[in-house]
Structure 1
Amino acid sequence: MARLLRLARRYWAVTLTLAVGLAGVVLALVGAGAAVQWLFSAYALAIGVWQGVGMLRRLLRGHWGLDVLAITAIVSTVLVGEYVAALLVVLMLTGGEALEDYANRRAKRELDALLERSPQRAHRVEAEGIVDVHVDDVRPGDVLLVRPGEIVPVDATLVSGDTAVDESQITGESVPVDKHAGDLLLSGSVNGQAAVEVRAEATAKDSQYQQIVALVAQAAESRAPVVRLADRYAVPFTAFSLALGALAWWASGDPVRFAEVLVLATPCPLLIAAPVAFIGGMSRSARNGFIVKSGGVLEQLAKAKTAVFDKTGTLTHGAPELTEVRPRPGFDADELLGLVASAEQYSSHVLAASMIVAAKARGIRLQEATSATEQATNGVVADLGGREVVVGKFAFVAAHAPGAARTAIAPGELAVYVAVDGRYAGALLASDRVRAEARPMLERLAALGVRDTMMLTGDAQATADHIAAEIGIARVRADCLPVDKVHEVAAIAERPVIMVGDGVNDAPVLAAADVGIAMGAKGATAASESADVVILVDDVSRVAKAVEVGRDTVRIALQSIWVGIAVSVGLMVVAAFGVIPATVGALLQEVVDLITILAALRAIGGRLDARQASAVPGARVAAGTS
């Protein structure tokens, strides 16, 4: 009941129209028929004036919509005394607008679970101790404490010790970056496992994270609005309807004919078909693991020509995984991996978890250490069954094993070196793996007409080229800052452009693209808030599914519109000969609306997804039923 009351208040025009209709029924039952005509006519004209003001404002901005025909129908039916028909036209007009608004609100509500990720508090070091302050109160020169796992609140210089920070949300780099005293830490990056002191170099407003947020707002404001699908048919449909009504009036000499034609010409199929289809399309999207924020986004997806991708976390998994074990003579691969994973149990480095997972996957039993120490950002030394095992960077391991030698690595790879009892034991290689679904997704996009693809990344050129070649992307731009990505997307000629990313650094370009798609499964909220589509599962194949849903939805919406128009035109021609009274015509228009709604509801897509799942092996998961 509370939900119905909220809807009634939000869509007050629909509620008021129904209330007026109910009041008219009551008045008619008590014998006050004349009052019904005055009530319906006055209310319909009031709504017509209200809609007319909005129509004039839109016309002054150069936007011609369906309002002209609806308002003309309202006025003409009132003038010829067909007040019941006038009220029915008002109900359809306000109802269509409410449906469209409801579709957009429903999609946006799905995003409420995504948490806001933005630095809010800072720990300032003062003479009397550590004081928590709002991030906006931090000034350049302030010394701040950043605890393990906390977000760096402002751009700052590291002044104490070493640490490793996760900059993936800022630069897109998946591997934690080692920082030493004097190095710059960017706001929005996440500190490692060591508490450090930093000196603020900028206010919150002028720091990297906040500049990205500002770019998002600027890009969103500069993006052109999408014209509603139905409005594209407004001018020809309006011109035809007015011409037919005028011809019927001229031929018969009866102005009632004009109203009778226009009642059947009210653009209900146009007003209702697209919103109902888009509600269905957005419901289908949510069922398939992604959220589309508005019907206009589905239109843009349906027309997309170019797809641009971030690399880390989008085309790749975003976390390094073990790819190869290179033992030295005297050690075998499983033994070396077991020693490394056992030692890494006592490390907080992001690679430690990868080594442990890899060892467990091979069924290797991990040992407990008698003692273990970690040198932040360098490596760990552990005593495993009386053997000293050193794991970490080359320089750190070489200090314990003078015979250590660097191993060759490919673009995108990194090496973890190992020494056992002062003897160099080998290296383990890790890399950020390409998603298995990335290449099939690109092939599916090409089949859907999105053949122009590009990669934009903050990673090095060699790494970007390696990944692009593996999945079949020809155009690559590496070493990109957020503003570089915005400029690259703005320069693309083949539009509409889809941009797919996952991090804070992608938020500006997601807002600047015609359609921004965020990989939101891991909570990259700045990206999600600026995107038009948010993928809620960790599966980039949903990008192709989103384009597919967009195309199906627009196709069904257009079919429904043309079905409605065809039936309306047929009835209008009959009404032009005076066969259909205005009130009967308004009721027949309700039948047209029902036909249109039933046709548009096909966009919910249950049968489409089921048919695809049965036609393609493995498509059940891709269709979002997992």
Structure 2
Amino acid sequence: MARTLKLARRYWVVTLTVAIGALGIVLALAGAGAAVPWIFSGYALVVAAWQAVGMVRDILRGHWGLDILAITAIVATVLVGEYIAALLVVLMLTGGAALEDYANRRAKRELDALLTRSPQLAHRLDGDDLVDVHVDEVRPGDRLLVRPSEIVPVDGELHSAEAAFDESSLTGESVPAEKQRGDAVLSGSVNGQAAVEIVATATAGDSQYQQIVSLVAQAAESKAPVVRLADRYAVPFTVFSLALASVAWWVSGDPVRFAEVLVLATPCPLLIAAPVAFIGGMSRAARNGVIVKGGGVLELLARAKTAVFDKTGTLTHGAPKLVAIRPESGFSADELLGLVASAEQYSSHVLAASMIEAAKQQGLSLAEAEWAREAATNGVTAKLGDREVVVGKFAFVRAQAPEARRTAIAPGELAVYVAVDGRYAGALLASDRLRANAKTTLARLDELGVHDTMMLTGDAQATADHIAAELGITRVRADCLPGDKVREVAAVAARPVIMVGDGVNDAPVLAAADVGIAMGAKGATAASESASAVILVDDISRTAKAVEIGRDTVRIALQSIWIGIIVSVGLMIIAAFGVIPATIGALLQEVVDLIAILAALRAVGGRLDARGEDRAVASDSRVGVA
């Protein structure tokens, strides 16, 4: 009952129209039916005048809409005495707007969930006191308590020994993320079953969750070109409808025929179908881990012809992993790895974490150093027990061990050299691994009509060629600066062009491309801010999914528009022969409205995604994937 009253208040014009209709029925039953035509006609003309004011404002702004048909239909039915049909046309207009709003709310629920779940309070620890403060008052360095099942208010670092967080609203991953002391904790993630302490590392405005909320707000505000294209149907549809109604009146000599045709020409399906479809498409994209910043982005994705990719962090993981250990005589592989990882604990180099992680996976214990010093960009020297270990570039190690020699490496590999007590101990090789689904993503894009692919990277030519060869990409540009990438994308002939990247250096080219897609799983960086769409999950296959959603959304939008046009025109032609009375025609148009809305809601895409998952499983079974 409460929900019904809430809906009645929200859509008060519909409620008033129904109330006017109910009043007419009561008056007719009470023997005061003579007043009903005046009440119905007067109310309908007031609504028509109200609509006419808005229509004139639109025309003065240069926008010719479809309201003229509805207003003409109301006035015509009143003039020919079809007052019941006039009230039904009013109900159709007000009810159509209400249905559109309701459908939009239904389609946007995944997007709205991010906004409504945005945390407002934080529990700050001030000494031994716990103080509730507004989230905007939290500053980096503040100690915060996050209670069981609460949303993390700001980005932070875990202060408790361990915890588990549900990050599904951020990444789409359903498995809770296990965290240890010192690990980063993202705002918007949900704490597990134990209260934990975190140390804030960012303000609310700079935190991951608020950045995503900002992207969602942008996504909800835009209007796609295809929606404006629907408005362009206004003039030809209006001219056709008025012409058909006039011919029907002229041939029959009956002005009622004019009203009967125009009742069925009321263009609610044309106005509703495209917006509902595009909001549904944005909702589907959000559910699949992609924030699309506007309906127009979906249309460009649907027509995309070229996809350009950054390499590091996009086609590859962006974090080199240990691939080989080459010890020299007197050292075992585990011994060499253990020494390197122990020394790398005191290094800030990008490879340090990879070596430490590899040692942990091998079950090796790391030794503490008596002392350690790092030579920036060259390597690290550490005293581990009675051994002095030097790890780093070839020249840095050879300065300590003159007999050191370069080891053979494949394109895309990096070598870390090691000396122990002034003696060359060997080398470890690391490589930035290609994403497992990168090749299948390119194949899927080709199936979706994106036939041209290209790779732009700041890496060396040999490394770029190696990755491109594995993926089958023939167009490669290496050693690129940000400006070079912008120029390369601008020169692409087959458009629209998609650019996929992840780093701050990709921000200019993401903004310059027709559609920039940022791999934003690790944070809303400058790349995410300048992109047209942001992938929230560390999964490049979502690029193809975004294109698929764009194609499905545009197809459904156009189908829904044409369904509304074809059904309305068919009924108008029938009405021109006097077969459909004005009152029945108004009721039929309500059915057309409902059909258009239901057709457009298919863009929300539950069944489409289910079919896609079934296809993926079948494909995996054919290639022997367990």
Output the TM-score relative to the length of structure 1.
0.72
> In 1, are the aligned partners of 2:52 and 2:71 still within 8 Å (CA)?
yes
The alignment partner of 1:524 has SS state of coil
Matched residue, 1:372: 371
Q: Taking structure 1 as reference, are residues 568 and 434 closer, same or farther at Cα in structure 2, changes over 3 Å only?
A: same
Equivalent residue in structure 2 for 1:21, among 11, 17, 20: 17
Matched, 1:88 2:84: no
Matched residue, 1:214: none
Q: Taking structure 1 as reference, are residues 569 and 519 closer, same or farther at Cα in structure 2, changes over 3 Å only?
A: same
Distance 2:224 2:605 in 1: 27
Deviation at 1:312, TM superposition (A): 1.9
Deviation at 1:36, TM superposition (A): 4.2
Letter in 1 for 2:350: V
Matched residue, 2:464: 464
Deviation at 1:8, TM superposition (A): 9.9
Distance 2:514 2:568 in 1: 34
Deviation at 1:27, TM superposition (A): 5.4
Distance 1:114 1:523 in 2: 17
Identical amino acids, percent of aligned pairs: 69
Distance 1:285 1:45 in 2: 40
Matched, 1:39 2:39: no
Matched residue, 1:495: 495
> In 2, are the aligned partners of 1:47 and 1:90 still within 8 Å (CA)?
no
Matched residue, 2:177: none
Distance 1:511 1:100 in 2: 32
Letter in 2 for 1:45: A
The alignment partner of 1:400 has SS state of coil
Distance 1:427 1:35 in 2: 92
Deviation at 1:299, TM superposition (A): 2.1
Distance 1:43 1:245 in 2: 22
Deviation at 1:483, TM superposition (A): 3.8
**Alignment deviations for residues 183-225 of structure 1 (CA, whole Å, 9 cap, x no partner):** xxxxxxxxxxxxxxxxxxxxxxxxxxxxxxxxxxxxx9xx997
- Tell me how many residue pairs correspond in the alignment: 510
Distance 1:396 1:412 in 2: 21
Output the TM-score relative to the length of structure 2.
0.72
The alignment partner of 1:597 has SS state of helix
Q: Taking structure 1 as reference, are residues 555 and 352 closer, same or farther at Cα in structure 2, changes over 3 Å only?
A: same
Letter in 2 for 1:275: P
Deviation at 1:397, TM superposition (A): 2.1
The alignment partner of 2:61 has SS state of helix
Distance 1:480 1:97 in 2: 48
Matched residue, 2:327: 327
Deviation at 1:108, TM superposition (A): 6.1
**Alignment deviations for residues 584-609 of structure 1 (CA, whole Å, 9 cap, x no partner):** 32221111122223333333332333
Matched residue, 1:157: none
Question: How does 1:361-440 map onto structure 2 within 5 Å?
Answer: 361=361, 363-377=362-376, 378-440=378-440
Matched residue, 1:607: 607
Distance 2:99 2:295 in 1: 14
Matched, 1:519 2:519: yes
Matched, 1:48 2:52: yes
User: Which moved further from structure 2: 554-563 or 490-499?
Assistant: 554-563
> In 1, are the aligned partners of 2:223 and 2:294 still within 8 Å (CA)?
no
Distance 1:71 1:480 in 2: 59
Deviation at 1:506, TM superposition (A): 2.4
Q: CA RMSD in A?
A: 3.7
Question: How does 1:578-593 map onto structure 2 within 5 Å?
Answer: 578-593=578-593
Deviation at 1:50, TM superposition (A): 0.6
Q: Taking structure 1 as reference, are residues 74 and 380 closer, same or farther at Cα in structure 2, changes over 3 Å only?
A: farther
Q: Taking structure 1 as reference, are residues 5 and 462 closer, same or farther at Cα in structure 2, changes over 3 Å only?
A: farther
Matched residue, 1:170: none
Deviation at 1:360, TM superposition (A): 2.6
The alignment partner of 2:567 has SS state of helix
> In 1, are the aligned partners of 2:224 and 2:299 still within 8 Å (CA)?
no
The alignment partner of 1:616 has SS state of helix
Distance 1:67 1:103 in 2: 25
Matched, 1:257 2:257: yes
Deviation at 1:69, TM superposition (A): 4.3
The alignment partner of 1:298 has SS state of helix
**Alignment deviations for residues 457-497 of structure 1 (CA, whole Å, 9 cap, x no partner):** 33333333332222122222333343443333333222222
The alignment partner of 1:518 has SS state of strand
Distance 1:75 1:517 in 2: 50
Letter in 2 for 1:600: A
The alignment partner of 2:319 has SS state of strand
Matched residue, 2:339: 339
Distance 1:373 1:436 in 2: 37
Matched, 1:543 2:543: yes
> In 1, are the aligned partners of 2:108 and 2:280 still within 8 Å (CA)?
no
Q: Taking structure 1 as reference, are residues 540 and 515 closer, same or farther at Cα in structure 2, changes over 3 Å only?
A: same
The runs of 5 or more residues in structure 2 that have no matched partner are: 120-218, 622-626
Distance 1:315 1:4 in 2: 51
Q: Taking structure 1 as reference, are residues 253 and 376 closer, same or farther at Cα in structure 2, changes over 3 Å only?
A: farther
The alignment partner of 2:493 has SS state of coil
Matched, 1:295 2:295: yes
Q: Taking structure 1 as reference, are residues 6 and 495 closer, same or farther at Cα in structure 2, changes over 3 Å only?
A: farther
Question: How does 1:118-517 map onto structure 2 within 5 Å?
Answer: 226-228=225-227, 230-231=230-231, 233-361=233-361, 363-377=362-376, 378-517=378-517
Matched residue, 2:181: none
Q: Taking structure 1 as reference, are residues 42 and 508 closer, same or farther at Cα in structure 2, changes over 3 Å only?
A: farther
**Alignment deviations for residues 369-406 of structure 1 (CA, whole Å, 9 cap, x no partner):** 34131315233323334222221233332232222233
Matched, 1:595 2:595: yes
**Alignment deviations for residues 5-53 of structure 1 (CA, whole Å, 9 cap, x no partner):** 99999xxxx8453254255347545766434432331222222221332
Matched, 1:565 2:569: no
The alignment partner of 1:574 has SS state of helix
> In 2, are the aligned partners of 1:518 and 1:527 still within 8 Å (CA)?
yes
Distance 1:292 1:94 in 2: 25
Q: Taking structure 1 as reference, are residues 224 and 244 closer, same or farther at Cα in structure 2, changes over 3 Å only?
A: closer
> In 1, are the aligned partners of 2:107 and 2:283 still within 8 Å (CA)?
no
Distance 1:421 1:257 in 2: 103
> In 1, are the aligned partners of 2:58 and 2:65 still within 8 Å (CA)?
no
Distance 2:577 2:464 in 1: 69
The runs of 5 or more residues in structure 1 that have no matched partner are: 116-219, 622-626
User: Which moved further from structure 2: 335-344 or 106-115?
Assistant: 106-115
